[in-house]
Chain A
Amino acid sequence: MNINATLISQALIFAVFVYICYKYIWPPILSTMEERENKMAAGLEAAKQADDSLEEAKLTYEKELKEAKEEAANIVEKANKRSSQILNDAKVKAEAETEKIIESGSKKLENEANKTREELKQQLSSIVVETASKIIDEEIDEKKHENIIKKAAEEI
Chain B
Amino acid sequence: MAKELTSKSYIDHHLTNLTCGKTESVGWTCDHNYYDEMGFMAFHVDSITISILLGVAFVALFKLIKLNPADQKPTRMQNFVEMCVEFVNENIKSIFGSTDNKLIGPLALTVLIWVFFMNLMDLIPVDFLPELTKQVSYASGIVDDPNDAYFKFVPTTDPNITLGMALGVFILTIFYSIKIKGLGGFIAELTLHPFGKFAIPFNFALEIMQLLAKPLSLGLRLFGNLYAGEMIFILIALLMFFQSAVFGVLGLGLHLLWALFHILVVSLQAFIFMVLTILYLSMAHETGDH
Residues 10 to 41 of chain A near chain B (Cβ within 8 Å): 10-11, 13-18, 20-22, 24-26, 28-30, 32-33, 35-36, 38-39
Tell yes or no: A136 within 8 A of B by CB. no
Question: Chain A contacts of B143 at CB under 8 A?
Answer: none
Tell yes or no: B188 within 8 A of A by CB. no
Q: How many residues of A contact B (CB 8 A)?
A: 32
Cα(A25)–Cα(B28), bound, Å: 37
Q: Which of A2, A7, A25, A33 has the most CB of B within 10 A?
A: A7
Tell yes or no: B168 within 8 A of A by CB. yes
Closest to B86 in A: A33
Are the C-beta atoms of A5 and B41 separated by less than 8 Å? yes
Contact A4-B168, Cβ < 8 Å, known A17-B114, A21-B59, A29-B62: no
Question: Chain A contacts of B71 at CB under 8 A?
Answer: 39
Are the C-beta atoms of A22 and B163 separated by less than 8 Å? no
Contact of A6 among B74, B161, B171 (CB under 8 A): B161
Tell yes or no: B159 within 8 A of A by CB. yes
Cα(A21)–Cα(B74), bound, Å: 21
Contact A22-B67, Cβ < 8 Å, known A1-B159, A7-B164, A17-B110: no
Contact A11-B165, Cβ < 8 Å, known A25-B59, A32-B67, A33-B86: yes
Cα(A77)–Cα(B179), bound, Å: 89
Are the C-beta atoms of A6 and B110 separated by less than 8 Å? no
Cα(A25)–Cα(B59), bound, Å: 7
Are the C-beta atoms of B159 and A13 separated by less than 8 Å? no
Are the C-beta atoms of B109 and A25 separated by less than 8 Å? yes
Question: Chain B contacts of A36 at CB under 8 A?
Answer: 70, 74
Are the C-beta atoms of B42 and A21 separated by less than 8 Å? no
Provide a sorted-by-A list of 27 A–B residue pairs whose CB atoms are within 8 angstroms. Answer: A3-B163, A4-B41, A6-B48, A9-B48, A10-B165, A11-B164, A11-B167, A11-B168, A13-B48, A14-B164, A17-B114, A18-B106, A18-B110, A21-B59, A21-B107, A22-B102, A22-B103, A22-B107, A25-B62, A29-B67, A29-B81, A30-B105, A32-B69, A32-B78, A33-B82, A38-B70, A39-B71
Residue numbers of A with Cβ under 8 A of B are 1-11, 13-18, 20-22, 24-26, 28-30, 32-33, 35-36, 38-39
Residue numbers of B with Cβ under 8 A of A are 15, 19, 21, 38-44, 47-48, 51-52, 55, 58-59, 62-63, 67-71, 74, 78, 81-82, 85-86, 102-103, 105-107, 109-110, 114, 158-161, 163-165, 167-168, 171
